[in-house]
Amino acid sequence: MQLQQLVYFLAVADTRHFTRAAERVHVAQPSLSQQIKALERELGAELFSRARGNIALTDAGEALLPIARRIVSDTEAATQEVQELVQLRRGRVRLGATPSLCTGLLPDVLRDFHTRYPGIRLVVEEGGSRDLVRELASGSLDLALIVLPLQSHDPALDATPLLHEDLVVVTAADTPPPWPGPHVEVAELRDQPLVMFRRGYDLRELTVGACRAAGFEPRLAIEGGEMDAVLGFVEAGLGHAVVPSMVAGRRPRLRTTPFTAPGLQRTVALAHRKDAEPPRAARELRRVLLQHVRDRDCASRPGHPPA
């Protein structure tokens, strides 16, 4: 039994006329009649009574009619569902990102994506890079924004560097500047009270590593927070923190001091599994994200005003 045969059968059942049925489905009348006869042979019963030119459903035809309608309807619904996904009218993207990227980079990106594709549901998982890599490996995420280098190399992971971000020191804006100049050396953090992220946090590892490379252990005033908590503690005057520049710029109650050149940087990468191509909606989010980063880079270059 073929789907097209059921379509022809429904056309005849609705019009009770072979010629008009053929016109409805845009096929020659002899071809339609042949397909109906083939369907009847396969089912072992006549579907239409053709007495004196009057077309009527037989008992077998009456039994087949609701089933045929359901099959054709389900097929059309399935086709429409797939087309909507292909055309990005519906779907889901599961995106992982570190907390600082959720705060600094993602709001503008997700706003642009949602404006273009309002039917796509966005699911954002916030976590450290190592946790996000595990989520990718398990298939729980389609894409993840992570910080390089990873502590361990995963051969199943494809991580493409996305941007290099400057790290800065933030202090409470309503307190006196802790350093005289417009820049700060890592060595000048010695004996300064630092608000430190929880263990396993990418920024914690980077900050502690930079302090140790400068020959000292950081003095921790508070530790164990996530991004919003750390920024809130700094705003309250409880200590200083090393954070990404894009996060610091969104908090007017913070004073931002860049490091002396070459400064401190981190590399943000977009990762997905090598053995599984992300779904169409996730690929489109990746395109929007890459375009956003390119536009941001162009806007930050001298002689290129923001778009």
pTM: 0.69
Report the distance separating Cα 35 and Cα 38, nearest Å.
5
Q: Say what the pLDDT of residue 4 is.
A: 94
Contact criterion met (CB below 8 Å) for 283 and 291: no
171 exposed, middle or buried (CB, 10 Å; 0-12, 13-18, 19+)? buried
How many other β-carbons are positioned within 10 Å of the β-carbon of residue 7? 20
Strand partners, 273: 157
The pLDDT averaged over each successive group of 10 residues in the chain (307 residues) is 93 94 95 95 93 87 94 89 79 91 88 93 90 87 88 72 92 92 94 91 90 96 89 95 87 93 91 85 92 79 48
In this structure, the strands spanning 219-225 and 193-197 are: parallel
The full DSSP string for the chain is: --HHHHHHHHHHHHHS-HHHHHHHTTS-HHHHHHHHHHHHHHHTS--EE-GGG--EE-HHHHHHHHHHHHHHHHHHHHHHHHHHHHTTSSEEEEEEE-HHHHHHTHHHHHHHHHHH-TTEEEEEEE--HHHHHHHHHHTS-SEEEEEESPSS--TTEEEEEEEEEEEEEEEETTS--SSSSSSB-GGGGTT-EEEEEPTT-HHHHHHHHHHHHTT-PPEEEEEEE-HHHHHHHHHTTS-BEEEEHHHHTT-TTEEEEEBSTT-EEEEEEEEEETTSPPPHHHHHHHHHHHHHHHHHHHHHSTT----
Indicate the residue type of 113: F
For tokens 């700094």, the residue is 234
Is the torsion defined by CA of 201, 203, 206, 209 positive or negative? negative
Q: Taking every pair of C-alpha atoms in the chain, what is the biggest distance, in angstroms?
A: 106
| Cα(2)–Cα(235) distance, integer angstroms | 70
What pLDDT is recorded for position 258? 95
Q: Which residues pair with 196 in a beta bridge?
A: 223
Q: For position 304, what pLDDT does the model report?
A: 46
